[in-house]
Structure 1
Amino acid sequence: MSDGATRVLAGLLEARTGQQLQVGRRWRLETGLAPLLRSHGYASADALVSHIQAGHDHALADAVVDALLNNETSFYRDQASFALLKDKGLARLQRERGAGRRLAIWCAGCSTGQEAYTLAMMFADEPARWEGWTIDIVATDVSRGAIEAARAGRYSHFEIQRGLPMAKMVRWFDKEEDVWVAAPALRQAVRFQQRSLLDAAPHPGRFDAILCRNVLLYFSSSLRRQVFGRLASVIAPDGVLMLGAGETVIGNTEVFVSDFECRGLYRPILPEDAWRAA
């Protein structure tokens, strides 16, 4: 693949999704595009790029962007983080929202749905604790293909085994030939939407908890700050933000701080934080 084609593809990915094609991820150009080259009959990636640049096939450009995205995910990814969210973050929100008994949670950059379904299982596995509550889980991703896969809730044997305990697999998924399909009740517990982090937030537009995991590390520092600002504008003042295990707000934003009650989670900065720092 020529350097020119590489630059075009990197520019297309960043323009559509905000993600930068870093040097360590350029292997995806070859592996990710190979199926498209075969299915569309292109002899090389350069020929594919030339066709995209002509601007006559928007669907193909969308497919190229999808192919270049990193949809790596799994159920209960970083189990300690989900345990922290359940035992500390959600416990505090449960106390604070006891009168209205309603929670809105946004799983941003949800990929093929495993983390969103993990959330749904967390609530469904404790029916007595959440009896009478309305739990609204909305999950978004920029990839149309990922969202379609998430809505279908169909996972290969390899995917279903990654992080999902056997008891939960049997309870929440049905075996259909060589795939495992999420039970209707589980699929109905999550609203999946194709949406970029650069777009407006999904309904209801104000969230008690936001999961944005292993997404922002692919953004430039300036765009990362912009996205953090957008997240801060739609999270409740006492809400919790959950990032990936290797991510932090430190040095990336001034609108979120470490949650001193739930170390490992983050919360929007409040006026009293300035007073504490003074």
Structure 2
Amino acid sequence: MTPSEFEFLKNFLKTKSGLVLSNDKQYLVESRLLPVARSSKLETLSAVIQQIQRGGNRALETEVIEAMTTNESFFFRDKTPFEHFRDTMLPALLESRASRKQIKIWCAAASTGQEPYSLAICLKEDKAKMPGWRTRILGTDLSQEVLEKAKTGLYSQFEVQRGLPIQMLLKYFEQKGDMWQITPEMRAMVEWRKFNLLESFSLLGEFDIVFCRNVLIYFDQETKSEILGRLAKSLPDDGYLVLGAAETVVGLTDAFKPVPGKRGLFQKKQVVQAATGTVASPRLVAGGAFQR
């Protein structure tokens, strides 16, 4: 792959998916796209790039984008966000949403589904506190391939061993040969949709909680700021944003501030300030339902 071809590919990926590749990632591109070339019966990466440059081959473009997307995920990843969900977010929302008894959660970049299903398990574990409540979880990802796996809820022994306590495995999964499948009841708690974070969020509606973990790190500063601005509009005043442990809003947006003492957890700036007694508490805003 020539320097000019690599530059074209970097621009293509940034435009189509927001993914930013540094100049030292050419080896990564080659290792991930050579299988794409072989599956497309193209002899070289140069041939793949030439096909994309000509245009009209949407299937190849999608395959290239999906091959370059990182889809690492496992159950209850990093633990802390799920502790915040159980101990901070859920109790606050059960109080503030008591009149309508509905909580809506969006897991952006949901990959193969372990994060949404982990949240579904948390909700099921707390069901005694939520009689009559409706909970809806939307999982989205850029890759149709990983979404298809997420929909099946079928995981290998290795995948279920990564972060999933044995008692939860036996309670919420059924063994299928050498695989484990999350039960139909749990699968029904999650909706799935292919979605690009570069697109408008308006058709998704409003959410009480947004998990957007370990995805902003792949974007440039401008794209991060733009996505955070749109996430702010997708949350009511007292909603919650959950980012990855290494991610921050500092220098990117004034809409969110960290929740004190809660790593990776953010709320609207005025809410966090109200909690410290600096401004009046804002009114609560009712959220809209998902739109298909």
Q: TM-score, normalised by structure 2?
A: 0.88
Contact 1:107 1:137 in 2 (8 A): yes
Q: How does 1:92-131 map to 2 (within 5 A)?
A: 92-131=92-131
Cα gap change, 1:62 to 1:204, in 2 (>3 Å): closer
**Deviation readout 1:95-133 (Å, 9 max, x if unpaired):** 111121110111111111110111111101222012211
Contact 1:89 1:262 in 2 (8 A): no
Residue 168 of structure 2 aligns to which amino acid in structure 1? Answer: K
Aligned to 2:166: 166
- Secondary structure (helix, strand or coil) at the match of 1:237 reads coil
Q: How does 1:54-203 map to 2 (within 5 A)?
A: 54-201=54-201
| Residue 225 (structure 1) aligned with residue 230 (structure 2) | no
**Deviation readout 1:49-78 (Å, 9 max, x if unpaired):** 112212131111111100000111111011
Q: CA deviation at 1:178?
A: 3.3
Cα gap change, 1:185 to 1:28, in 2 (>3 Å): farther
Q: CA deviation at 1:24?
A: 5.8
Q: CA deviation at 1:149?
A: 1.7
> Unpaired segments of 5 or more residues in structure 2?
280-292
Contact 2:73 2:114 in 1 (8 A): yes
Aligned to 2:208: 208
Q: CA deviation at 1:262?
A: 4.6
Contact 2:111 2:141 in 1 (8 A): yes
Q: CA RMSD in A?
A: 2.1
**Deviation readout 1:196-250 (Å, 9 max, x if unpaired):** 1122327661111110000111111011110000000010100111101111112
Aligned to 2:21: 21
Residue 6 of structure 1 aligns to which amino acid in structure 2? Answer: F
Q: Which moved more, 1:15-24 or 1:133-142?
A: 15-24
Residue 179 of structure 1 aligns to which amino acid in structure 2? Answer: M
- Secondary structure (helix, strand or coil) at the match of 2:238 reads strand
**Deviation readout 1:157-193 (Å, 9 max, x if unpaired):** 2222211111212222222233222211111100110
Contact 1:198 1:227 in 2 (8 A): yes
| Residue 43 (structure 1) aligned with residue 9 (structure 2) | no
Q: Which moved more, 1:247-256 or 1:66-75?
A: 247-256
Residue 87 of structure 2 aligns to which amino acid in structure 1? Answer: D
Residue 242 of structure 2 aligns to which amino acid in structure 1? Answer: M
Contact 2:238 2:271 in 1 (8 A): no
Residue 276 of structure 1 aligns to which amino acid in structure 2? Answer: T
Q: CA deviation at 1:92?
A: 1.0
Contact 2:105 2:208 in 1 (8 A): yes
> Unpaired segments of 5 or more residues in structure 1?
none
The sequence identity of aligned pairs, in percent, is 35
Contact 1:73 1:115 in 2 (8 A): yes
Cα gap change, 1:204 to 1:17, in 2 (>3 Å): closer
Cα gap change, 1:144 to 1:25, in 2 (>3 Å): farther
